[in-house]
Amino acid sequence: MTQPTPLGNFEHIDNDQIHLILESSQIAIWDWNIQTGEASFNDKWAEMVGFTLAELQPMSIETWVKLAHPDDLIESNNRLNCHFSGETPCYEFESRMRHKDGHWVWVLDRGKVIAWTSDGQPLRMFGTHTDISRIKNAEAMLKLSEQRYSLALQGANIGLWDYDVPAKSLFFSPVMHKLLGYAEHEIPHRFDFWIDISHPDDKSKIHKATMAYLKSGVGQFEVEHRLIQKNGTYRWFLSRGSALMDAQNKPIRWIGTIMDITELTQEREDSLELERFMAVNQDLLLITDKDGQFIKYNEAWSEILGYPMDYFRIHRFLELIHPNDLTETLQVLSKLTNQEKVINFINRYRCQDGQYKYFEWRAFPYGDQVYGSARDITQRKTAEEQALYLSEHDSLTHLYNRNYFDRRVQAEIERANRYPVPLALVMIDLDHFKRINDTWGHPVGDSVLYETAQILLQNLRKQDVLVRMGGEEFLVLMPHTTQQGARVVAEKIRVAIEQVNHVVAGHFTASLGVAERQENESFIQWYKRVDDAMYQAKADGRNQVAVSNDFRSAQPMNVMLQWQVEWDCGNPLIDQQHQQLLDIGNGLITLALADSDPKVMLNLFDQLVIHLDHHFAIEEGILETQHYENLEAHRQTHRDLMGKARFLRTYFENRTITASSIFTFIIEDLVMGHLTKEDILYFPLLKGLNDA
């Protein structure tokens, strides 16, 4: 029988055995053939970045390169070369890898060449990855905390002082100089100076506070006192500090802060006026301690939340906060504890009937207390949420609208570019819909559109994005769906619509186009293909599904804006500015179709905004001199367009929306929506002047 190897004798363990040991220990490991680029990883390695090994096949060194942060690759290569050349005994580097869900994972990458070629080149390298994200995040939080403390002192206008007892040297921070009104060179670094500027009536109080602190030996001393400024006026200050003791328990150094509390002291003296003010104020006012216990509050709390006044004496305000807002509220309280003021903070409070109201806060710290005022903004928040909903949804069908689609499709395209997943579009357009409106009227047409929306929702998956693009046109964005899969769904929808028997309009049908996005295809080109496919279905007899050809064979679009004779308004200056608008618009359309650099497109869009602002002012001035009866409504339309233009500019600069949104704004809002529908209303007025 073979005798077992004694414990601790690892001399005869080969590399494969070591590999098995590491595998069983659940360590993320990698094995790299440097000469061929072949690489293998274990399950733990893939799990660290959110994948399975199957998802990473086929594997090579490129698997790691694609997941690595671009900014880390150069230094990683430098360290590898140092190891390969023998400068370092092993390779070690902290780097980032992209997790499957998009965030970065910090890893400690260690490895060593375990085999060399006959000519001395590195052949095989073996290593491990260790997740150090928590450590890196902790380092970042510590640095941020230090920055916040420094900014808090400056932002709160709090001075810092430091007294070296043996040296009798006193240091004042720049804020301290500012509080006292002195330049830095004007204050001597002597303790006597502190005594000299203290109010005579407060010197004994300062002495008692320091003695009481030294006697207790815990906490910090705190005293309110007056100091004389350079201009000869006394102001109230709050001084806090603590001492560093020597072996004989005698102070050798004092360090503390000082804050001007003159205004707060005056407020205390005016407490009667404060009580009266709180009684008549409609906002919620309170003074609370750092633990959230009510110290003073007005009747607005009871009137708005519905609790009796005594309720707040025995409950902390933290008990009323919405659970989802509690963490952020505690963070705000921490700032207040650090003597930072808080402005425009919003959270929710529970009413006695169980409902929640939104409050907007302004809060200021004073010692261990917080002075706060809150305003009930529930109606405003409700209106904002409703506005957000309306900005992303169609008011008739309650489906998503074009604004939402423009943002969502860009995110899906970026996801499809990162991972090899299919992405498809289905366009649905009701056949002869104008006939329904002309025969039965628009209310019936609206009913048909709403019923169509319900049919579409019933035949789509949860991850599919259904959009009403306008009129009788709908669009479905289908993530993780091939052209064949989208065609099956489109045919299912076509049949479902065909089988509908509307209570008034009866049977109606739809034509559908299908297009799967091709690799590196722009959204505009992709959208054009699905639009062409839909029109092909109509040309082939309607009530059909047509599938797009490959985008490389699609015909180029001709969407340039051409000046029409009927757009002449009768005023040469306005006509000239309208034509300049079309020129800039065509330039933007050209850039959008070419997927140009966003910075170039942004510069031209800025020119468009400047031109619009100038043109609208000129146009309004001309219409005012001619007493145009719809001028105010026209002005409002101009304001709305400028607001949307600035909104688009901001969101395009932040890459929240795509160039297609600007494309749509120019064609649908400025030209088709404004020039041909709004401006045309004043044409008779200006043309009549020329005729006269």
Closest CA to 221 of 170, 198, 255: 255
Closest CA to 662 of 613, 593, 576: 593
Closest CA to 387 of 395, 375, 397, 377: 395
**244 CB-near residues (< 8 Å, 6+ apart):** 251, 252, 253, 254, 255
Q: How many CA atoms lie within 13 A of 423 on its CB side?
A: 25
Query: Would you tell me how many other CB atoms lie within 10 Å of the CB of residue 322?
Result: 14
Give bridge partners of residue 514 from the DSSP assignment. Answer: 426, 547
Q: Which two tokens stand for residue 112?
A: 């060593």
Do the beta carbons of residue 170 and residue 162 sit within 8 Å? Answer: yes
- In angstroms, the CA 686 to CA 631 distance is 13
- In angstroms, the CA 41 to CA 29 distance is 6
Say which amino acid occupies 43: D
Closest CA to 461 of 477, 444, 437: 477
- In angstroms, the CA 607 to CA 342 distance is 39
DSSP H/E element including 32:
strand 28-33
Do the beta carbons of residue 162 and residue 169 sit within 8 Å? Answer: no
Strand 545-547 relative to strand 510-516: parallel, antiparallel, unpaired?
Answer: parallel
What percentage of the chain's residues is helix, strand, coil (to nearest 5)? 50, 25, 25
List, in sequence order, every beta strand (DSSP E) within 412-525. Answer: 423-430, 465-470, 473-479, 510-516
Number of H helices, E strands in the chain: 25, 20
Give the SS3 label for residue 535: helix
Give the SS3 label for residue 223: strand
Residue 130: left (phi > 0), alpha (psi -120 to 50), or beta? beta
Ramachandran angles phi, psi of 236, nearest 5°? -85, 140
Give the chain's end-to-end CA distance (angstroms, integer): 122
What residue spans of 167-295 are helical by DSSP H? 174-180, 191-197, 203-216, 262-269, 271-280
**686 CB-near residues (< 8 Å, 6+ apart):** 569, 570, 571, 574, 622, 626
Q: Which of 224, 340, 412, 472 is catalytic?
A: 472
Closest CA to 467 of 664, 667, 653, 639: 664
Do the beta carbons of residue 446 and residue 437 sit within 8 Å? Answer: no
Closest CA to 465 of 453, 478, 452: 478
Using the structure block, give the residue that is written with the tokens 């917080």: 370
Catalytic annotation on 87?
A: no
CA triple 278-284-288, angle to 5 deg = 85
Positions marked active-site: 472
